[in-house]
Structure 1
């Protein structure tokens, strides 16, 4: 039955969105099927409304932010959340869950595909927001510990293997130098590129850009998230809690394609996302204009190259 229904939905996707060809239609099909998979829960979700939902996820961090956490938070607000299970160091993201288990030590990117337990489960030209409420991280994590004389600007960089290829979406040291030199007089800049020991990895190997010591030497005004963690680790549950607390006090972000961009989009303000064409399906489905702004109402500026980042920084920061 599932196989037949998926074939029917593939045909429907082709008719509904004729401009999407080949593999792109499978994404649309899968999202349609994921929404239909919610029908058996109608009575429990809207009539009985008792805790029953166990949400278990080991997939990519970006998928967890985009689809799993908003679905989980909806169940929490609805009174139907029973338990959450995810990777290590995720408790700060599930602060609202009274029964959260950090079970997994590694993320498996394939877990997000063919997983129809969530009404949105992959890339799509449209999303179902009926059971989708973003977690209010900014409201919950705002604090006085990470406040400074100048407004915060978070530069959330990354430098890792992408789609089994060398790093694509990242800010080089030269690009960082240009951005920091432009912004450091107006903003207190916090630079964030987590080390492999601070976050749970998946199939994307984290590489060394050698920028942390360079920043300490050339731009000592910049605060490094790694240094903040060393200073305040006695007050923190883990590195993810630190990220959430710093981000909650900021309204300006520069982030990279993937989970880095999704997390920064949860905190309002303006988020410049560097995402090169040809890498990632967000481009094909125009998701920087749909689901990313929906996380918090943030203004999302999609930079397709480093020069776009510089232009947006000059115009909006």
Structure 2
């Protein structure tokens, strides 16, 4: 019998909905060993859920943030990453965290993607969200809009497109991924009349990578890129910034979309939503995205062996 894959799950902010989502799904994946990393008081073990204990620093009240527990959240992530690195876990799934309270506690934290990249010494993590067959990756993540254009360099685009191509081949068994690349400006710059980034940066990178064998189309106007005619036959879209691509993805798949970090030496998936403090402790939060994230981690782990 094939050994079941072992998946680490970090429930995220202890006062949010993460712990209860993990608990409610604890027996939903008999094909895998699930290991929740967190406080056993929040995560009762079941027949199919092991708990690796990391204790909170302060008592937890659902819905009420406490900066004293910020270090606990980060320790659960470090434990999961360490286990993925040493082979104890094939993948990790992360529940939602609250960036504000982590920073309030004195821990600089811009998001899971950047934090996990730092822990694994990954030079260029790539955020990709998936909902069914639609996959949207980002050239920039959590940046103010005024900083986006300066952050998009030829070197960055080259690296990101190579990572997307590589990881789609490895973790999704796509032989030659077709990637659509969005322009930065309205109408993809309108031949330079609405910006020259497409002419001076994006197009040269695409042409160079096509010559290297990548299957790329673009730069395309973002307002017509996400239409059935364009998306048919595409394996992923590269959007230039967070709110260019993710509103479409979340409109299509909110509640069952998965956040995936490409470019790491480990497999990491996550939910597509926040901590939902107003729902915490009530047992009514939708488990769809957490269920999808666990399923995706199992599948990626099996394909990426």
TM-score, normalisation: structure 1? 0.30
Query: Relative CO higher for 1 or 2, CA cutoff 8 Å, sep ≥ 6?
Result: 2
